[in-house]
Chain A
Amino acid sequence: MAVIAPTRVAPNAGRRRALALVSTGALALAGLIFGAVGLRFGLPRVSWGPPSRVLAGREEAIGPGARVALGEASVALWRVEDRVAALGLVCTHLGCTVALSDDGFACPCHGSLFDGRGRVLDGPAPAGLPWLRVSRTPAGEWEVDTRAVVPEDTWLEVRS
């Protein structure tokens, strides 16, 4: 059995303890700063996602009374006589894309049901589907901005 030297209390123990405290604190501070840097590092500053504005087909492609879900964007165009509106199809519950049903929209993930104007009929959705700004490009196509939510009943007159 080796003889272990007993831990001696040095005469300047107070100073040593203070030094130990300061250096441990410095290490902890470094850890905190590094952790904060790591957290901020993980939060994106730039969005690389798809553009928010999507083209929604030729003007004449959507006739009066038509309600069309666009295959390549989660957006539906709705034309009533000479007015056109766009509804976002991303469910307000947990983000699934809702599908057109007979007279409204239905979500395949958690069963939310919406009427044709996007209002919640049933299911867990906390809010209705958003109405989106629709405009006409100079080339004669519908363009919908999926981030530009407009009040319900915002229509665009179709020039005939």
Chain B
Amino acid sequence: MSLPQAREPEGGRSAPWRELPARIWASVFRSPIVPRDDLGRMQAVGANFFFHLHASRVQGRSLRVATTLGLGLATLVLFALLCSTGIMLMFVYVPAPEQAFGRMLDLRGAVAYGPFVRNLHRWSAHGMVVAAIAHMARVFLTGSHKKPREFNWVVGVGLLLLTLALSFTGYLLPWDQLAYWAIVVGTSMANYIPGIGQDLRRALLGDEAVGPEALLRFYVLHVALLPVLTATLVGLHLWRVRRDGGLARPRGEPVGADVVLAWPHALSRELAVALGVLLVLGATALAWDAPLEPHADPNHPPNPAKSPWYFLGLQELVSHSAFVGGVAVPAVTLLLMLAAPYLERSPGGEGEWLGRKRWLPNAIFVAALGAFAVLTLVGSTLRGANWAFVMPW
């Protein structure tokens, strides 16, 4: 496929400057910005660095709302939003116990749009956890993790863990009460991991107790190591979707029966998802302020001391047994998640919501998700002071 060349200037030697803008333009944008024919539309995707993650042609069914609900892309948009707001917050924040909380207050009063940017960051973080879990559910319930996409599911599980790790390291940074006691409880859970637990805890804290070293370590994890890992895995995740021939489709459906150009069909829908996410997040950030608890107090935990909602199920579990709830159940769940596409070997149900052949795996998955929801609800509504059972009314 030959690309359009910058036209040779006709009277080139006499007036090169007249042709210069066009030449520069053509050197940057190798194909027309708004393509007029299908060849141009394919080039617009294939020859553009930012679009070439796409195939230039996609399956029409991949674009229907019910196929994906746009959840993977929503997760990616939220990640981008988190990166950009996160970099802005880095200009204001100092990862030291004497300063961190004061910087949060500065963000409220002394920085233009400070609350808005922090709200966007916080609510996007919650949104990314929701979107990632929902995306995982969509993939599983449509059988999209089955052969040959097993390993991409494993990459996805890694991305879910990274999302949770990013959230965990993130909400520690304000050095408020939530931050402090989350770090205390979270790193104490490491103690129950057989063998490496103690060393893991010391490596996370950089000390024997929670203090400046721990804050610095969580900061570096949050702004450097984890985002870079996440971005890398996102690249791998998307690349493998393409390598595996796009989204999973039902068996027997002929390939190439229903193909459309990525420009404009896929891109316009992606634009719609991105705008929808921005709209929801922008409105949320304008309407609700991100919480900030009082300054960390190492001797007085709030009562009850509750983690954010996505860890409340875990908190409910560890309130029964630290080892079972904090190590055994998460480890077994993780192993099952990683093994799921390899355990489910019989073909059928790919690209099909709640495929009848896959009723058992789907039932197990929905039950596990339901258990997570119930534990979260118990932790959030039925637990009061001293983590005792209370009625929500």
Contact = CB atoms under 8 A, between A and B. Distances in A.
A94 to B, nearest CB: 4
A71 B185 contact: no
B211 interface: yes
Contacts of B207: 44, 47-49
B319 A111 contact: yes
Given A44-B202, A109-B185, A109-B301, A93 B208 contact: no
Nearest to B205: A44
Q: What range describes how many residues of B lie at the interface? A: 35 or more
Nearest to A108: B303
A94 B181 CA distance: 10
A44 B218 CA distance: 15
Interface string B162-206: 000000000000000000010011011100000000010011011
Given A44-B202, A96-B305, A111 B388 contact: yes
B136 to A, nearest CB: 28
B386 A106 contact: yes
A108 B202 contact: no
B119 interface: no
B387 interface: yes
Contacts of B301: 96-97, 108-109
A81 to B, nearest CB: 28
Interface string A36-54: 0001001110011110000
B304 A48 contact: no
Q: Interface on chain A toward B: helix, strand, loop, or mixed SS?
A: loop
Given A110-B387, A111-B387, A94 B211 contact: no
Nearest to B187: A95
B299 A73 contact: yes
A111 B303 CA distance: 10
B299 A71 contact: yes
Which of A39, A47, A50 has the most chain B CB atoms inside 10 A of its CB?
A: A47
A124 interface: yes
Contacts of A44: 202-203, 205-207, 213
A83 to B, nearest CB: 25
A22 B117 CA distance: 52
B187 to A, nearest CB: 8
A50 to B, nearest CB: 7
Given A108-B303, A111-B387, A50 B209 contact: yes
B184 A96 contact: yes
B185 A72 contact: no
A64 interface: no
A74 interface: yes
B387 A109 contact: yes
B353 to A, nearest CB: 39
A108 B387 contact: yes
Nearest to B306: A109
- 6 A-B pairs with least C-beta separation: A111-B387, A108-B303, A95-B188, A110-B319, A94-B188, A49-B209
12 contacts: A42-B206, A47-B208, A50-B211, A72-B299, A74-B299, A94-B188, A97-B301, A99-B303, A109-B301, A111-B386, A123-B319, A124-B320
Interface of B: 181, 184-185, 187-189, 199, 202-203, 205-209, 211-213, 298-305, 315, 318-322, 326, 383, 385-388
Interface of A: 39, 42-44, 47-50, 70-74, 89, 93-97, 99, 106-111, 113, 123-124, 126
